[in-house]
A and B are shown apart, each in its own frame.
Chain A
């Protein structure tokens, strides 16, 4: 079983649309498991008509709480907290949004007035789809530990893929290059980087490429909306050959992409559309690397 993560550095390049279209083709001949690792804005579920099968709470860490009856007001907690999460107003209290759950205050409090409580940070799910099981999650808005939730989603997906002897685990990655993107990348055999032909797209591709390289995951590139700016498409091509990264496909700007999205279907259902054809040839290039 191989694991392929779709990344882009920046959001909005079409990661999810491209992944759903690839999955739609791959599922015709292979056994798939899908994971949506963009836990703070999970969108893959919109394109694969999931039927919810399991729901689990996600405890993403702990949060400090001060018992006002035990607190002697010595302010040691205020002194040790490096995250500005202890508020001093009418008595000391914890700002749960600022608290990182490091427990420094808990260990420092001479009055044992601080408790560390589990923080319910979101939920994760298994759904069944016509393309295979989908593991996805919802981080409660503003919560920490999205990287940890990504790791949880991926672990559940890998276990299912192993027990079902699936051929391929496809992971929809989050934007950025930080903690959730790193968690989505780790352990994958291949990263498909979806790039957009713009000055910022080129900049973002360089950053995500440096990241996959840093973590030793081989990368391949496809360009989405490739005909929006041919000069920038050419620059991406040059970057790929300079960096020794295969450029596997170019998907043209195609209204069918948005039309199928509004119908909540992968673009491959608009058979014969330019984008669907481009994804088909992208899959032919990818297939020998994955299954």
Chain B
């Protein structure tokens, strides 16, 4: 099964939960667990799992290249480009590759066949293992805007193996926009990590709206840094019928381990059974709804 850890807001502890879950599950007999870090703008899970990476792939997308000896400057390519990535002036065609979505419309519509598509580098995918955990992540090239195609490719490459894994855990990017949707699509369950503050509550509401209401996924909440802030998140979950899977206390030792790049479920084994409970709850909640 595929479980995505998302949050709406950044900094609530998505990576903490995703790496912790992967770690405790990998300790179970006969388990087969995979972690895929889909936050390709700022991938962080590798800092904690320290995987041995053994394979790397490029992610490219096709951008137009115009052969000016065949071009008649008719402007059709600019007209059909919904993303304003091509401008045609007299005697000149300008391509803004950072705005191109790689849809191929310009090449298909050019009456002279003057446009070919050439690959442009969007990012890299890396695959490896951290002990018993199969690991994959993507990195968006600095200066590139499009994270979604990198995530799409990462999932396509990493998840075929999901059929043979007991659990694939996807660490989602922050926010509620297209890159989070791309990560959540096809998941069996969404764990939403939040903190008990007005910021956390505000973003949790949006995340529930996206994962549960728009995408129809079963969702559950983990309240991180429980004990600081206020009770707004608790009352929202109760009113909205969203199960609270667990509460992780505000614990300076967790913050400390995290800040040092240590895997918290190793440094503080007293949390292992709590995270295993979460994994079991997610499994049974998913079976109940499927």
Contact = CB atoms under 8 A, between A and B. Distances in A.
Contacts of B173: 175-176
Given A11-B10, A43-B199, A144 B177 contact: yes
A43 B206 contact: no
B191 interface: no
Given A43-B202, A82-B103, A258 B229 contact: yes
B176 A141 contact: yes
Contacts of B179: 178
A113 to B, nearest CB: 17
Interface string A205-220: 0010011001100000
Contacts, number: 190
A10 B145 contact: no
A228 interface: yes
A122 to B, nearest CB: 10
A97 interface: yes
Contacts of A201: 259
Interface stretch (A157-165, A192-200, A239-247): A192-200
Given A198-B258, A198-B261, A175 B174 contact: yes
A121 to B, nearest CB: 10
Chain A CB count within 10 A is highest, among B104, B140, B199, for B199
A80 B82 contact: no
Interface in B148-176: 173-176
Interface string A117-158: 000000000000000000000010111111100000000000
Given A199-B261, A228-B255, A258 B142 contact: no
A10 B259 CA distance: 14
Contact of A139 (B142, B177, B198): B177
A279 B104 CA distance: 50
Interface string B100-128: 01111100110000000000000000000
B268 interface: no
Interface in A97-118: 97, 100-104, 107-108
Nearest to A39: B177
Given A10-B10, A41-B202, A141-B210, A211 B176 contact: no
Contacts of B83: 102
A203 B42 CA distance: 8
B80 interface: yes
Contacts of A264: 198
A250 interface: no
B178 A41 contact: no
Contact of A97 (B11, B15, B181): B181
B198 A262 contact: yes
Contacts of B12: 11-12
A41 B8 contact: yes
A80 B209 contact: no
Nearest to B225: A258
B47 A82 contact: no
A9 interface: yes
Given A102-B83, A142-B181, A203-B44, A41 B206 contact: yes
B280 interface: no
A72 B12 CA distance: 50
B82 A62 contact: yes
Nearest to A211: B142
Chain B CB count within 10 A is highest, among A38, A145, A179, for A179
B41 interface: yes
Nearest to B79: A107
A200 B175 contact: no
B144 interface: yes
Given A101-B82, A102-B83, A176-B173, A16 B199 contact: yes
A178 B103 contact: no
Given A41-B203, A107-B80, A262-B230, A10 B11 contact: yes
A82 B144 CA distance: 19
Contacts of A12: 9-12, 174
A103 B181 CA distance: 21
A199 B177 contact: no
B57 interface: no
Contact of A229 (B82, B102, B228, B259): B259
A232 interface: yes
B36 interface: no
Chain A CB count within 10 A is highest, among B82, B173, B197, B261, for B82
A282 interface: no
Interface string A253-278: 00100100110100000000000000
7 contacts: A41-B174, A41-B202, A175-B10, A178-B179, A207-B42, A228-B259, A258-B229
Q: Which 6 A-B pairs have the closest CB atoms?
A: A12-B11, A11-B10, A199-B261, A102-B103, A141-B210, A198-B259
Given A61-B82, A177-B140, A178-B41, 19 more contacts: A9-B41, A10-B10, A10-B11, A41-B10, A41-B174, A43-B202, A62-B82, A80-B105, A103-B80, A103-B105, A104-B103, A107-B105, A139-B176, A178-B144, A178-B145, A178-B147, A182-B145, A228-B255, A262-B229
